[in-house]
Chain A
Amino acid sequence: MASVAAQATSRGSSLIAVIADEDTVTGFLLAGVGNVDLRRKTNYLVVDAKTTVKAIEDAFKEFTTREDIAIILISQYVANMIRFMIDSYKNPIPSILEIPSKDHPYDPSQDSILSRVKHMFSSDPTGSTDRV
């Protein structure tokens, strides 16, 4: 293992995964982010009333371990269901973006990334945030 200066590297044509409600997934599929490979594996998951937390966890794990996904869009109310997984996720890629949903507006206080940023200014050293 050689000790060298880190070099700029790049990766092209990575996918954007979506874990959200039907309207949001439909919209982003219309925008062209959808991908179905030869094994019928998709880069999106539609979350509805029948979707279990386990299914969301499995999808999140799968998307975070796939090498061809660079960004994961997840509705905030879905992210709240698996908040412990998202808080413990520290890798820069794929990047996790919490987005609002039709029925649940975006709440910055619940965003994992902004919570880390807010901790810098928090007078509470524990950095606790109010989450519903």
Chain B
Amino acid sequence: MGEDVQNAGYVKDTTTMGENVQDAGCVKDMTTMGEDVQGAGSNGNSDMDMEMIRWLDSVHQLLCLRDSLSQVLRQGWMEMAQARYAMGPARISQPLYSLKPYAASASVSVKSSPSSGAPETAVDQEDVFQPTSNCAIHFALQKRSSDGDDHTSNQPSKNTLKSRNMHHSSKSGEQAHLVPSDWSREEDIAYKKLMGDTDDSDTDTELQPKTSTQALGSTKPLQWFGGLVSPHLRAAQSSFESALEIVVDIANAQSDAVQGHGHGDVKIQENVGGPQTPEQLMEH
């Protein structure tokens, strides 16, 4: 700690703090603080340094989120164990899962946008949804409440949905949903009813066979385990709902970290003019 770094070309560990980096080109972990990066050199190197710092920030955020996810999951498992102790082991088990068709009440929306610096890519005329590793991907959690409305943690853009081998299945005025194109017409109609007809979502919806295929509905998973469940099971549900939000944040942070890693490699190759590892670059 408190060292003056005189030479470039090395990687330091996370716990060093208050250092002055007097030469450019060294890679440091993001927890170093109070540093002055001097002698930035060319603009290309300073851009790369900023890219590295952003990437390290995303990695740090990823590690923090993983830690909080572990804590929340641990709490959820403890509460589930307490519920199982109170209700009996057979009352909370896999055979009680409902296998009647139902739609997920928690889903994610995916937004893919070209990241800055990404080269222009040729796209098909069909304009399919095929995010590549150069795209910035953002996930947003969507929850369907009991009244059937969708609530999003981060509002996604309302762009037209495109996907390969999928077609739109939606009622007028409803949010478009994607279904596999090989579904029969009856399955398509039943799926539309699932997405559009959610009047009876307060109770565990029984299948109402209006056609040969049964209509889908939403379900309340707590009711799979009995009419009266332990409050510990409700607490476990709440914990796992929190864990779900953290999972979506981790997915975003992971996407940023992996994308930033790819950008770093690209920038290194652009600046040096050949495929080199960052360690080799620092030695120059």
Contacts and interface: CB of A to CB of B under 8 A. Distances in A.
A42 B97 CA distance: 11
Interface stretch (B16-24, B42-50, B131-139): B131-139
A6 interface: yes
Interface string B145-184: 0000010000011110111111000000001111010000
B122 interface: yes
Contact of B244 (A1, A15, A28, A38): A28
A106 B62 CA distance: 13
Contacts of B70: 100, 105-106
A3 B123 CA distance: 6
Interface string B80-119: 1100000000001110011111111111111111100010
B125 A31 contact: no
B179 to A, nearest CB: 8
A67 B113 CA distance: 18
B137 A10 contact: no
A82 B98 CA distance: 28
Contacts of B163: 11, 67
Interface residues on B, range: 35 or more
A58 interface: no
Contact of B113 (A8, A68, A97, A120): A8
B221 A22 contact: no
Given A13-B142, A14-B108, A93 B244 contact: no
A32 B104 CA distance: 6
Contacts of A43: 104
A5 interface: yes
B110 A14 contact: yes
Contacts, number: 234
Contacts of A11: 109-112, 129, 161-163, 178
A113 to B, nearest CB: 5
A99 B125 contact: no
Summarize B's interface: helix, strand, loop or mixed.
mixed
A132 interface: no
B254 interface: yes
Given A16-B108, A67-B178, A99 B69 contact: yes
Contact of A12 (B125, B156, B257): B156
B230 interface: no
A53 interface: no
A8 B80 contact: no
Nearest to A36: B101
Contact of B106 (A8, A33, A117, A125): A33
B54 interface: no
Nearest to A114: B62
16 contacts: A7-B123, A9-B111, A12-B142, A13-B178, A26-B92, A26-B94, A27-B73, A27-B80, A36-B99, A38-B213, A38-B216, A40-B101, A95-B251, A99-B69, A108-B63, A121-B11
Interface of B: 11, 27, 29, 59, 62-63, 66, 69-70, 73, 76-77, 80-81, 92-94, 97-114, 118, 120-125, 127, 129, 131-135, 137, 139, 142-144, 150, 156-159, 161-166, 175-178, 180, 187, 190-191, 213-214, 216, 219, 221-222, 233, 236-237, 239-241, 243-244, 247-248, 250-251, 254-255, 257-258, 261, 264, 277-279
